[in-house]
Amino acid sequence: MKNFIYVFWLLIASVSMISCRKVEKDPLSYYPKVKTVSAVILDDGSVQVTGEIESEGTEPIEYAGFCMDTIPEPPMAKNQMITSVNGSSFSAIYQDFDITKKYYFRSWAANEYGYAIGNTLSLDSITAIPVIPPCTMTPNTTNFGSGTETFNNVGLPVMSFDDWTISASTSGTTFTLTFGEKPKTRKYVTASNVNVSSPGFVKITFNSGFVYGSVDDGADFYVNEIGINQYEMTLCTSPYSYQTSTLSIRFNFDCPL
């Protein structure tokens, strides 16, 4: 009986020692340590934010990402983006900034025990590098087969199910521009089918009484976002087919007008 008690005791004691999990001296050691490394404005006016996991803590990282706001020290859930960690680095791209505001970016990471939030980086005057059309045109005019017309009404981009549409009119012609994304500063390419899965393309159709059709695929179309919901749009030249002829179209307008 005595021997049994000793063996039983030693067995339980051994198992309990093996199952011991080390208690960290610093309670913060259980949590990740994270740093917001950079926030860089890209050519198209989006911002690439990069973070670094300085320490995973005592357990692997389960989630990592960023938050962003126009107030300093943005809370973790504000405009949150969750990303995957590559090595110790992770990054995300934010878009659609108001050029007049200052934006704050913070990284964060979470493991089994909890989360840690990184330092804040800020950027202001976030805008894309303007795209310069290789032509000069009289503002708000179109040269459309039969002569020059002046735009008198250009609407703001209107979002529908899977595209954004702008309507622009002269006294005799209405143009409809369809984008796969909210227009922003960049060079687009004309295409006959455009939706959210083709953000770099624009479909341009027109209706001028007896003449209607669409701009041929493959022409460059220049958009510059000059303010909040304010754009300059230019098509230097593009062919379009009408009956058996191939004609040329070009236009330039401010949006809205």
Q: How far apart are the first and last CA of the chain?
A: 99
Token reading at 138: 């009289």
Closest CA to 184 of 82, 42, 69, 83: 42
Minimum distance from residue 243 beta carbon to another protein (Å): 48
Under the criterion CB under 8 A, does residue 115 sit at the interface with another protein? Answer: yes
110 belongs to the binding site for another protein (CB under 8 A): yes
242 binds another protein per the rule CB under 8 A = no
Classify residue 129 by its DSSP letter.
Answer: P
Q: Checking DSSP bridges between strand 201-208 and strand 211-214, what pairing results, if any?
A: antiparallel
In whole angstroms, give the CA distance from residue 246 to residue 256: 30
**Piece of 111-119, 129-137, 167-175, 180-188 that binds another protein (CB under 8 A):** 111-119
Helix, strand, or coil (residue 130): coil
Residues 132 to 151 in contact with another protein, rule: CB under 8 A: none
Binding another protein (rule: CB under 8 A), the pick from 40, 88, 113, 141 is 113
As measured in angstroms, the least distance from the Cβ of 90 to another protein is 13
Binding of another protein at residue 5 (CB under 8 A)?
A: yes
Considering only 18, 27, 86, 245, the residue that binds another protein (CB under 8 A) is 27
Residue 136 has, within 13 A of its CA and on its CB side, a CA count of 0
Beta strands in the chain (DSSP E): 33-41, 47-55, 61-69, 81-83, 89-94, 102-111, 115-124, 141-144, 148-154, 158-159, 164-170, 174-179, 186-190, 201-208, 211-214, 220-227, 230-242, 245-255
Segment contacting another protein (CB under 8 A): 11-19, 174-182, 230-238, 244-252?
11-19
75 binds another protein (CB under 8 A): yes
| Distance from C-alpha of 33 to C-alpha of 116, rounded to nearest angstrom | 6
The single residue listed with the structure tokens 């890209």 is 42
Interaction between residue 18 and another protein (CB under 8 A): no
Which of 46, 55, 70, 80 touches another protein by CB under 8 A? 80
Applying CB under 8 A, which part among 16-24, 137-145, 170-178, 226-234 lies near another protein?
Answer: 16-24
Residue 9 sits in the site that holds another protein (CB under 8 A)? yes
| Interface of this chain with another protein, residues 170 to 199, rule: CB under 8 A | none
Q: CA angle 10-14-20, nearest 5°?
A: 145
Q: Tell which one of 42, 82, 159, 196 touches another protein (CB under 8 A).
A: 82
Interface positions with another protein (CB under 8 A): 2, 5-6, 9, 12-13, 16-17, 20-21, 23-24, 27-28, 30-31, 63, 65, 75-77, 80, 82, 108, 110, 113-117
